[in-house]
Amino acid sequence: MLWEPLKDTTLRCKLCAHRCVIAEGKRGFCAVRENRKGRLSTLVYSKVIARHIDPIEKKPLFHFYPGSRSYSVATVGCNFRCLHCQNYEISQYPKEYPDIPGEDMTPEQVVKEAESTGCKSISYTYTEPTIFFEFAYDCARLARERGIKNVFVSNGYTSPEATRLIAPYLDGNNIDLKGDDNFYKKVAGARLQPVLDTIKLMKDLGVWVEVTTLIVPTYNDSEEFLRWVAEFIKSVDVSMPWHVTQFYPTYRLTDQRRTPISTLRRAREIGLKAGLKYVYEGNVPGEGGENTYCYNCRELLIERFGFSIQKMNLTENNECPYCGTNIKIIR
């Protein structure tokens, strides 16, 4: 799906913002889409490398069926090369090895397992779901027929064409907004603008969107950048949740320390001061920044510890029981 022929047997992939031009016998930047005699072939269809049942809060999605479980699947591969990828063993595998590992699973099997385990949704996650688009697309259409929701956990580099194709079957999307353009070029091998475009387009097409910024000390922790992110999210939707999460050293970025909790607190304060209604601190269970408060009267509405909900205090109509303010949340 999503490619066009060029001169001779060369073609252009239109799946993500890289828009790779691929010669015959070569693969795109993601290393899982290959030009075979002038036709683009996905190498990861039905090749599931990871599958787990997760709390939806792990995605993280805090305002999308909170407390529910999500059947999570992934294949190998990614269209980014993040130096701090926590799942690099599977995301970067095809760039380092010639084979494509994974357990053979059909979309029918994925949806059946989600059903039988009582999951409210299926999450396409762990690696970038855009690169296994055809598989996710077929799973999502079948899941929609069975009343199961669909979620992307994405870097936001999905092309507008792919976004418009998946949006009718996609219910939620947590999109990373990693840094400024220099950060994207230096750390991820990508650009900022396509990510901003995807956040806006997903929102316009009716997909529930939450944004995550993993704060890496000295890379993207300046007040100027954090204020810019908050203002951007506000310009899209003041009720769009923003997750500011703790970095820990991994993969090729082990020379940096963990993000201080004080930095997360400052980021959350910046977001709230900018006017965002919901800002959360992530990867620091029990510190209090994971809770949902009424943006009007500041009463505690949802108490969390890590990925677990300890207490939920909302009316049936998702209103604050103390002041009657409507809380933008899907249940």
- pLDDT tens-digit series, residues 255-267: 999 999 999 999 9
DSSP H helices, 117-210, are 133-145, 160-166, 181-183, 193-204
Q: In angstroms, rounded to a whole number, what is the distance separating the alpha carbons of residues 34 and 27?
A: 4
DSSP 236: H
> What's the pLDDT score for residue 281?
97
Q: Are 176 and 86 in contact (CB under 8 A)?
A: no
Per the prediction, the chain carries an average pLDDT of 97
CA distances from 319 to 68, 240, 316, 324 (A): 19, 17, 7, 5
The kind and range of the H/E element at 59 are none
CA distances from 45 to 22, 126, 213 (A): 19, 16, 29
How much of the chain exceeds pLDDT 70, in percent? 100
> What's the pLDDT score for residue 155?
98
**Tens of pLDDT along 54-98?**
999 999 999 999 999 999 999 999 999 999 999 999 999 999 999
DSSP H helices, the chain, are 88-91, 93-96, 107-116, 133-145, 160-166, 181-183, 193-204, 223-236, 261-274
Confidence of residue 254 (pLDDT cuts 50, 70, 90): very high
For the entire predicted model, the pTM comes to 0.97
> What's the pLDDT score for residue 90?
98
**Tens of pLDDT along 182-208?**
999 999 999 999 999 999 999 999 999
DSSP 68: -
Q: Are 50 and 64 in contact (CB under 8 A)?
A: no
What mean pLDDT is predicted for residues 249-278?
97
> What's the pLDDT score for residue 72?
98
Give the domains, in start order, of the chain with CATH numbers: 42-287 (3.20.20.70), 291-331 (no CATH)
**Tens of pLDDT along 161-181?**
999 999 999 999 999 999 999
Q: Which two structure tokens, joined as six digits, stand for 170?
A: 């996609």
Cis peptide before 60 (omega within 30 of 0): yes
Confidence of residue 108 (pLDDT cuts 50, 70, 90): very high
